[in-house]
Amino acid sequence: MSLSSVVWTSWINMHTSTRKLLTLLALTTSFVGLGTGLETLLPSQSAQAEGWVLFGPSRDTTLDYDLINERPNARSVTLRLFMPAQDVASTELQVNYPDAYIGLLRPELVRVYNRRSRQEIPLQEATNDAESGSLRFTFKDPVAAGVPLELRVVGLTNPSRPSIYRLQARLLGTEANPLFRYVGQWLVTIGVS
């Protein structure tokens, strides 16, 4: 009698509830194993190399970026964050960042540019709220609708852990009762290939 026939006979003679439990356990462990291995199977998403984002944001809200050095703890890094043109004028820009960037992402490192004319946009004020993890840039004059923006962070130190970090962008309009409008998010890859 072969091993496979012994296993099959034992499986048939097993109680139905035990069989269901073992089947459920086998399926669950295979899905958990698949979930933890996905980050090594699928390439990450960045501006230079398109990849897949599984169970993530839609492609419409993912913004492009350019990072010169993706090594963890790399110093004097230049990070360029791109924003598409918006259909309304804006007076303020807010960038929300994760805890890993606390102390690393400071307003004095950031410049805002008009991507079309390549001119720096003058700021009235730049503030950092490390407690809530947000940078706020108030423009000296409202930025007209239809102007694509670039945030250039020069002299940045990358976070120490390899991961995909989510930074979110919101703009404050010039309406009578302005609200922050969600623009999108950058999925910045550090040390993940």
Local structure of residue 14 (DSSP, 8 states): S
Furthest-apart CA atoms within the chain: distance in Å: 85
What is the structure's pLDDT at 30?
A: 56
Q: Is the pLDDT of residue 13 over 70?
A: no
Q: Is the pLDDT of residue 98 over 60?
A: yes
What is the structure's pLDDT at 79?
A: 94
Most confident of 27-31, 110-114, 127-131, 175-179: 110-114
Q: How far apart are the first and last CA of the chain?
A: 49
User: For 165-189, what is each residue's pLDDT tens digit?
Assistant: 999 999 999 888 888 999 999 999 9
Contact 84, 145 (CB under 8 A): no
Task: Identify which has the larger pLDDT, 17 or 112.
Answer: 112
Strand, helix or coil for residue 11: helix
DSSP 87-146: SS-EEEEEEE--GGGTTTS-GGGEEEEETTT-PBPPEEEEEEETTTTEEEEEEEEEEPTT
Burial of 158 (0-12, 13-18, 19+ CB in 10 A): buried
Task: Identify which has the larger pLDDT, 9 or 121.
Answer: 121
- Residue with tokens 């606390």, as numbered in its chain: 102
Task: Enter the tokens of residue 50.
Answer: 């398109």
User: For 70-93, what is each residue's pLDDT tens digit?
Assistant: 999 999 999 999 999 999 999 999
Which H/E stretch holds residue 170? Answer: strand 163-173
Instruction: Provide the pLDDT confidence category of residue 44 given band limits of 50, 70 and 90.
Output: very low
